[in-house]
Amino acid sequence: MSFTVRRVEAGEWERVRELRLRSLQDPVAALAFLDTFENASAQPDEFWRQRTANAAPGGPNAQYVAIAEDGEWFGSATVIPSQTSAGRATALVVGVYVADGHRGAGVIEVLFDECAAWAADHGYTELTLEVHVDNHRAQAAYERCGFTRTGEITELANGREYVMARPVVPVLR
């Protein structure tokens, strides 16, 4: 399977919305995301325009999308500046999604490597993410990509989540 991973452009807000709504319909979305399909689909166009502009070049965040040869958007990861509970500056990866049928093809690795490159360009030394304690599929994928548990557990609206981290350098395979 051939695909491209690139950063979103500000004018692509409709595609960003479509992919986000698709991700929120995934069977494990309730564990994986702090949002619901119902809430996200009710957001006005301006919300999506602003969200996309914030993740496009020139914005404070970066959203990377995986695009198939036929133009289908099927994967995404967003990286944002953050701080750990210990006060360390970190690049937090959120909204990680690869559509069923595209998993296991190396997409998530490329998405994380792009997030790591953005983080390195902004002076961060690690990527962090949070994953629900019951989302074993995601935990296995993140471990395969070089993330390890930090020992920290956060309590969020959707339950307990492990904090995982990895250096910003791409993992060599």
| Residuewise pLDDT in 10s, the chain (173 residues) | 799 999 999 999 999 999 999 999 998 877 788 899 999 999 999 999 999 999 999 999 999 999 999 999 999 999 999 876 666 788 999 999 999 889 888 999 999 999 999 999 998 989 999 999 999 999 999 999 999 999 999 888 778 999 999 998 755 54
Structure tokens at 105: 């093809």
SS3 call for 168: coil
SS3 call for 173: coil
Q: Confirm whether 93 is domain-assigned.
A: yes
What's the pTM value of the predicted model, to 2 decimals? 0.92
Domain that holds residue 124: 3-167
Which DSSP string do the residues of 64-108 spell out, in sequence order? EEEEETTS-EEEEEEEEEEE-TT--EEEEEEEEEE-TTSTTSSHH
Q: Confirm whether 147 is domain-assigned.
A: yes
Q: Confirm whether 173 is domain-assigned.
A: no
Please count the structural domains in the chain.
1
Q: Confirm whether 15 is domain-assigned.
A: yes
Name the one residue in this structure whose structure tokens are 């957001």: 43
SS3 call for 139: helix
Q: Confirm whether 172 is domain-assigned.
A: no
With residue 162 as reference, give the H or E element that holds it: strand 159-167
| Domain CATH number, residue 39 | 3.40.630.30
